């Protein structure tokens, strides 16, 4: 199946895609805040996305996409990356994939064209969900009360002591 071949080819080029994206993020006029993030961390995140793209596209697991990209949104909020830059970074991530697909080979038949169009459709759905989950995670982080204003919460799992405080049996501590 050509679509599967194209996905595998994308994953094989994940290093090239990663380097191009990191360079773009750190030089693009629409993502200036990314210049203050460690290059190694940007590489690791990009490689994680490009390296697992095939799994996400094959599984079509909204839960995985939601969890991964909500965490990204939360992290970028904590790093004080503006939301508009974060969304543009995801757009750049998608553009690099689409550009790579066009460079993988020429389409020689109608069926190959169908597979390429199908892959582009799958990518659109994936990145739409990724943007939504990222913004949701970012907004959750933005709405949380500052650490000083948050009450301390004790671990839900664990044992109840005589003074009524729950302590995690496994970790032996509290969760902020």
- Entry pTM: 0.76
**Tens digit of pLDDT for each residue in 123-134?**
899 999 999 999
Cα–Cα distance between 116 and 106 in angstroms, integer? Answer: 10
For 6-38, the pLDDT digits (tens) are 677 777 878 899 999 999 999 999 999 999 999
Q: Compute the distance between CA of residue 152 and CA of residue 106 in angstroms, rounded to an integer.
A: 59
Buried b / exposed e across 98-137, counting CB within 10 Å, b at 16+? eebbeeeeeeeeeebeebbeebeebbeebbebbbbbbbeb
Which domains, and CATH codes, for the chain? Answer: 2-144 (1.10.490.10), 149-176 (no CATH)
Q: Which two tokens stand for residue 123?
A: 């990518």
């Amino acid at each position: 199946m050509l679509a599967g071949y194209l996905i595998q080819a994308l994953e094989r080029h994940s290093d090239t895609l990663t380097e191009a994206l990191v360079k773009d993020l750190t030089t693009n006029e629409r993502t200036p805040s990314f210049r203050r993030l460690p290059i190694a961390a940007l590489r690791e995140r990009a490689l994680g996305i490009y390296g697992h793209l095939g799994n996400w596209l094959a599984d079509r697991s909204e839960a995985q996409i939601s969890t991964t990209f909500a965490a990204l949104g939360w992290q970028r909020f904590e790093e004080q990356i503006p939301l508009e830059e974060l969304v543009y970074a995801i757009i750049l991530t998608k553009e690099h994939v689409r550009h790579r697909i066009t460079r993988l080979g020429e389409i020689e038949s109608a069926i190959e064209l169908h597979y390429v169009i199908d892959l582009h459709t799958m990518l659109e759905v994936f990145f739409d969900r990724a943007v939504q989950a990222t913004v949701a995670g970012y907004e959750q982080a933005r709405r949380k009360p500052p650490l000083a204003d948050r009450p301390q919460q004790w671990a839900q799992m664990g044992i109840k002591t005589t003074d009524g405080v729950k302590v995690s049996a496994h970790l032996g501590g509290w969760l902020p």
